[in-house]
């Protein structure tokens, strides 16, 4: 009798384990889908590309990790393109809309270190040529700033400060529109300087100028 109870209990536990395993797999699948959707958003795509840049800068990054980041970013770009395609099929193309791209850092190491340290990100959209041939791109910049509130763990809460800058389409070289080129371009005119002063603040803007001057 005891053996029968033991076997029954074992069967119950095995059934529960199987159910938990299925539930865990569903949760992991849902998490992967949520992460993929986020990576296809403006912030998600920019952060995905920045993760690649951070890994590339670090000489200790394992090659497998870098390859995985590149694969994830490729999926993010595909998902972003799909989102744009589905949206335009439903609502039509709007001026300034298009395929989403992240702004790479550029070729100025000092500025690159500053942008990575301040977590300054940039994205822009490129419309299909058969729908629109714009004279400028709108670059969406963002960086984290403290809200002044503290969470339950005693950590300062952050929010991303945002700014939008217009730059001529000629600034895009091949498939790249770098943060370096965007900042250098807009710091050459009064309106752009005013926008960047609000976005960076006096101290950070001074550091940006100094980095570009090197």
Mean pLDDT, the chain, as a whole number?
90
Within a domain: 80: yes
CB atoms within 10 A of CB 158: 13
- Kindly state the percentage of the chain with pLDDT values over 90: 62
Distance CA 50, CA 150 (A): 26
> Residue 102 is part of which domain span?
40-213
Query: Which is higher by pLDDT, 151 or 195?
Result: 195
pLDDT at 31: 63
Residue 7 lies in a domain: no
Which residue would you say has higher pLDDT here, 177 or 27?
A: 177
pLDDT at 116: 95
Does 53 fall in a domain? yes
Query: DSSP code of 146?
Result: E
The gap from C-alpha 34 to its chain's centroid, in whole angstroms, comes to 14
Is 8 among the domain residues? no
Confidence of residue 101 (pLDDT cuts 50, 70, 90): very high
Residue 17 is assigned to a structural domain of this protein: no
CB of 138 within 8 A of CB of 42?
no
Strands (DSSP E) found in the chain: 99-102, 121-126, 136-150, 156-168
Any domain includes 154: yes
Q: Can you give the pLDDT at residue 48?
A: 93
On whether residue 30 sits in a domain, the answer given is no
Give the residue from 124, 116, 170 showing the smallest Cα distance to 144: 116
Say which DSSP state 5 is in: H
With respect to residue 144, please indicate whether it lies within any of the assigned structural domains: yes
Q: How many domains is the chain built from?
A: 1
Quickly state the pLDDT bin for 131 (edges 50, 70, 90). Answer: confident
Residue 34 has pLDDT above 80, yes or no: no
């Amino acid at each position: 009798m005891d053996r029968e109870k033991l076997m029954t209990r074992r069967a119950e536990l095995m059934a529960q384990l199987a159910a938990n395993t299925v539930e865990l797999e569903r949760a992991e699948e849902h998490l992967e889908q949520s992460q993929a959707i986020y990576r296809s958003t403006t912030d998600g795509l920019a952060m995905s590309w920045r993760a690649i840049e951070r890994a590339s800068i670090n000489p200790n990054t394992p090659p497998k990790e870098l390859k995985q980041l590149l694969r994830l970013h490729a999926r993010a770009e595909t998902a972003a393109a799909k989102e744009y395609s589905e949206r335009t099929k439903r609502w039509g193309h709007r001026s300034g809309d298009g395929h989403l791209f992240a702004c790479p850092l550029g070729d100025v190491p000092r500025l690159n270190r500053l942008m990575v340290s301040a977590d300054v990100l940039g994205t822009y959209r490129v419309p299909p040529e058969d729908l629109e041939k714009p004279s400028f791109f709108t670059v969406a910049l963002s960086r984290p700033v403290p809200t002044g509130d503290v969470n339950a763990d005693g950590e300062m809460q952050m929010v991303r400060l945002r700014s939008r800058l217009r730059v001529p389409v000629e600034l895009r070289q091949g498939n790249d529109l770098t943060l370096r080129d965007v900042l250098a371009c807009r710091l050459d005119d009064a309106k752009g300087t005013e926008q960047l002063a609000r976005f960076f603040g006096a101290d950070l803007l001074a550091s940006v100028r100094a980095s570009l001057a090197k």
